[in-house]
Structures are given as C-alpha cells and as structure tokens.
Structure 1
C-alpha cells in the first residue's frame, strides 16, 4: 500500500474542504502531529482512522486509497452514479444535456 499517495489524497480532500490539519485531526480524534505524519506518508494509518477520515471528508475509503486515473470502467460508473443520486430532477436534466454535448465534443476532438 502506498501510504504517501494516500496521504496526498487526504491532503487534497482536506484542502478542497478548506480544513486545516488541526481541524481534521480533531474531527477524527487524532493529534495534529499524527495527521501531519499521515499526510506526508511518514506513518501508516490504521483502518479505523482511514474510515474516520473518509467519513469526515465526505468521501469513500476507495477515493483515498486509489488514484482515480487507475479506476476501471465499472468503478467510474459507480462513482458517477453516486454523484447523480444526490441530484434533483432539474439538475439531472441539465447534466444529461451537458453530458451529451461534452461527449459529442470529445468525439470530434478524438477524430482529429
């Protein structure tokens, strides 16, 4: 397991939410020093801490362990489905149009 990569994913999610290391550490009941060591890959984190961090950050543990670029088609579809589940009907209609237009533009770009 690449603990340095996991730490980078945790740091990216923490920053996306605008949290400090201290704030996130407090949310999962660990020390700020331990949080820093996790983010730098200096220490291995336990499964319970990983789960607590994922919950606090509002992501799945898989999001912290794996690079999104290495996900297979099924995993990507699952992630997209999870995102869409929380959308309103109006948002889904707009996203359907955006997706259709984007897919068309990508296809034209790839044909060059």
Structure 2
C-alpha cells in the first residue's frame, strides 16, 4: 500500500529545506496552492504528471520522495542519516551510533533475525 502521507511529508520537508513556499511550488508546477497543501497532507494523490513536476521543481530524485514506499531504497535513508549527523560533534556521533546499534538489535529480535 502506498503511504501518501509519507510522500506528502517528504515533499513538504524538501520544499521547506529549499526555502520554497507552497505558493511558489504551486506556481512552478502550474497548480493551485490548495492542491499542493492537500498533496503535502496526504489528502490528495498527485497525478504522475504532477509528481514529476514536483520532483523537477524541487530538484530531487523520485526515490527521495518515494523511499518510504520502495523496498530497495536503503541508500536514501543512509544518505539522510549522513546529512543528519554531518554537523554533530564526536560525542553526539557516538551516542547516535550506540542508539542505532541498540535499535538494530531490538528490531532484529522483534523480527526474528540473527
């Protein structure tokens, strides 16, 4: 099942990180601001034409917006982790690494993986 709310959140996060307003994105993709808002909240499913326009306007790959729905997108999440930790101190990195290790062990136990 496609998680349109996740896609919308990724569109919003990317748009705001690039300093683009909903109004400007709507203008760039030739649609209304309300339509952009509904896409970002997962209340509207964008057409393929609109989705491609969003990808082009935000200058991202489709994988970056769809990665929560694609099984083979681990590299996108690994890239996100790298970006999130890029400005961390060595102490913060250590804590994050320990947290990830602990979470990985817990997840593998929960899913029955060694």
- For 1:70-112, what per-residue CA distance to the aligned partner results, in whole angstroms no more than 9, with x for missing partners? 733xx45xx7xxxxxxxxxxxxxxxxxxxxxx9xx87xx66xx
Q: C-alpha distance in 2, partners of 1:61/1:53?
A: 9
Q: In the TM superposition, what is the alpha-carbon distance from 1:66 to its structure 2 partner? A: 1.2
Q: Tell me what 2:23 maps to.
A: 22
Instruction: Tell me the CA shift for residue 24 of structure 1.
Output: 0.4
Q: How many residues align?
A: 83
- Using the TM superposition, give the Cα deviation of residue 62 of structure 1 relative to its aligned residue in structure 2, in angstroms: 1.2
After TM superposition, give the deviation of residue 56 of structure 1 in Å. 0.5
Aligned-pair Cα RMSD in Å: 2.9
Could you tell me which residue of structure 2 aligns to residue 90 of structure 1?
none
Identify, as 1 or 2, the structure richer in helix.
1
Structure 1 outlier segments of 4+, above 4 Å: none
Q: Unaligned 5+ residue runs, structure 1?
A: 80-101
Question: What's the offset of the Cα at 1:48?
Answer: 1.0
Q: Distance in 1 between matches of 2:14 and 2:66?
A: 12
Give the corresponding residue for 1:66. 67
Q: TM-score, with normalisation over the residues of structure 2?
A: 0.61
Residue deviations 1:40-84 (CA, integer Å, cap 9, x gap) = 0011111111111011001011111113xx733xx45xx7xxxxx
